[in-house]
A and B are shown apart, each in its own frame.
Chain A
């Protein structure tokens, strides 16, 4: 990836992370940890990979994205706001009764949200349905979904994986945000779904493992997915939960708690510093 493009994506990802902190702080709840770990992937999807139109969110031939790990909606909302699907100021209304930004993504509330999710394991099935729809109608739109590594403990994920593999849905890419932590502890402590790559391989998928915070590797993976014919692609993205905010990184407790004022201030200070460095 050329350095200008990379720098631009890094800046946007930093703003997306600010949106995550902004949203969860004002909501006094939400899930910052997994939102920060998926921020770079979502930035790449919406600012490079996917063909979408913020002025026409329901465009029939758009690429689709399903946030199967729906609790990390703050990251999706931040990236949709950056892309212009709605005003950035709305981020501050996250989880409020009159807001278009529900605690978990709802396609009926938010422009740009392609599927209502939040109950883990269901989003990937919906994405499989969309990919099947494209194939049956001989349309060339592609479908992307992001799963949590804890989420793939849900049996439904493997029902979906089996169907996608058997039906050769090569227009489908599932990213597993492999940040190694879930609510009750590390994957190992709870009920590890590892090895993730071998499982998806066994279900007939093309599997690519990357550093989910490295835009060169992210780009190569999505390009390779486009080239792969006859199989859906799973990108196992090694990530850091809480990435970009020092005190949130690799801390399980930041899965589902919002920053308080002093923590908000510190997080924004760190992210502003990162952004200033990128813009220097």
Chain B
């Protein structure tokens, strides 16, 4: 595995913004004094005339982005997930989503893998918050290839999009010829005994878990849900029908995120056992990202355990 490329999705975000800026005059980027961390500084370097630093004032930035978009710009507004979805929740809801304005929220440093900064900055509630807002599209890419394309897809989409990026460099799972399709789940590995539905950095862990399960004679299907809203119902219902049990895996609270979304779909369309793996209704803490992911059970071993439990429930 020495040749696995690792890259943080936030890095892909910065590169994609700069690339978009080359191609489109209407793209403008806002940040709230975190440009180096969110990687919007890459866009700033390439297109300084279309980069606006709003300072440490996320509420103003979101409503300002809304107003700016009405003058013809495709606006990207960036901060950490905690402050984009959390602090500025109501500005996102009322100024951006309610009038369905063309604002893309680039939220980096999502989840436990923020690491040493600790619980105040480890946002594990953002998907739940954003999912509850009408008109909002939510993308949580699994690797840098997907993230890069997702940013372009968000720019091409007319309306609000919440994009969730991570701080941690994560293994690349997609090949260069991967084609991102907004709203479409990706079948990464077929299987008949159980389906692991994963998002973000947990997709790689899900693939590793499937390999582990093979040794136990369990044939696991793996699906990458990069677009959490609108969610790909068809791929989920098909998986439920064909494998009879589901495990969801996300670096987010088990409340209201991918697990919640999958349960909402399946309880109405094809009820089967669903076990949710995620941050278990608790706050994070300081520590190295990889250690924390293990500590909070966000790894292949825990997914494999859940999958075995799910199979027993069939």
Report which A residues bind B (CB closer than 8 A): 60, 64, 66, 106-108, 114-116, 118-119, 121-123, 125-130, 132-134, 136-137, 139, 155-156, 159-160, 162-163
Q: Which A residues touch B52, using CB under 8 A?
A: 132
Whether B98 sits at the interface, judged by CB under 8 Å, is yes
A160 touches B60 (CB 8 A): yes
When A and B form their complex, which 9 residue pairs have the shortest distance between CB atoms, in order from nearest? A129-B67, A133-B71, A125-B63, A126-B67, A159-B60, A129-B68, A159-B57, A129-B64, A116-B99
State how many angstroms separate the Cβ of A165 from the closest Cβ of chain B.
12
Also in contact, A133 and B68, with CB within 8 A (given A156-B63, A160-B60, A163-B57): yes
Q: Please list 29 pairs of residues, one from A and one from B, whose beta carbons are closer than 8 Å in the complex, sorted by A's number.
A: A60-B72, A64-B70, A108-B100, A115-B67, A115-B70, A115-B99, A116-B94, A116-B98, A121-B59, A122-B90, A122-B95, A125-B59, A125-B61, A126-B67, A128-B67, A129-B63, A129-B66, A129-B68, A129-B70, A130-B70, A132-B67, A134-B71, A136-B28, A136-B73, A137-B72, A139-B71, A156-B63, A159-B57, A163-B60
State how many angstroms separate the Cβ of B101 from the closest Cβ of chain A.
9
User: Of A130, A136, A155, A156, which is within 8 A of B67 by CB?
Assistant: A130
Of the four ranges (under 10, 10 to 19, 20 to 34, 35 or more), the interface on chain B belongs to 20 to 34
- Give 18 A-B pairs besides A115-B99, A122-B94, A159-B55 with Cβ atoms closer than 8 angstroms: A66-B67, A106-B98, A108-B98, A116-B94, A122-B95, A125-B63, A126-B63, A128-B67, A130-B67, A130-B71, A133-B67, A136-B73, A137-B71, A139-B71, A156-B57, A156-B59, A160-B64, A163-B60
Q: Which A residues touch B61, using CB under 8 A?
A: 125
State how many angstroms separate the Cβ of B161 from the closest Cβ of chain A.
18
Q: Which B residues touch A137, using CB under 8 A?
A: 71-72
Whether B133 sits at the interface, judged by CB under 8 Å, is no
B91 touches A125 (CB 8 A): yes
Report which B residues bind A (CB closer than 8 A): 28, 49-50, 52, 54-55, 57, 59-73, 90-91, 94-95, 98-100
State how many angstroms separate the Cβ of A159 from the closest Cβ of chain B.
4
Q: Which B residues touch A122, using CB under 8 A?
A: 59, 63, 90-91, 94-95
B64 touches A125 (CB 8 A): yes
Q: Which A residues touch B99, using CB under 8 A?
A: 106-108, 115-116
State how many angstroms separate the Cβ of B81 from the closest Cβ of chain A.
20
CA distance A125 to B59 in the complex (A): 9
Q: Which A residues touch B60, using CB under 8 A?
A: 125, 128, 156, 159-160, 163
A126 touches B59 (CB 8 A): no
State how many angstroms separate the Cβ of A171 from the closest Cβ of chain B.
12
User: Of A60, A108, A132, which is within 8 A of B68 by CB?
Assistant: A132
CA distance A106 to B95 in the complex (A): 10
Q: Which A residues touch B50, using CB under 8 A?
A: 136
A127 touches B57 (CB 8 A): no
A115 touches B66 (CB 8 A): yes
CA distance A200 to B100 in the complex (A): 31
Closest to B68 in A: A129
Closest to A141 in B: B71
State how many angstroms separate the Cβ of B65 from the closest Cβ of chain A.
6
B72 touches A128 (CB 8 A): no
Q: Which B residues touch A64, using CB under 8 A?
A: 70
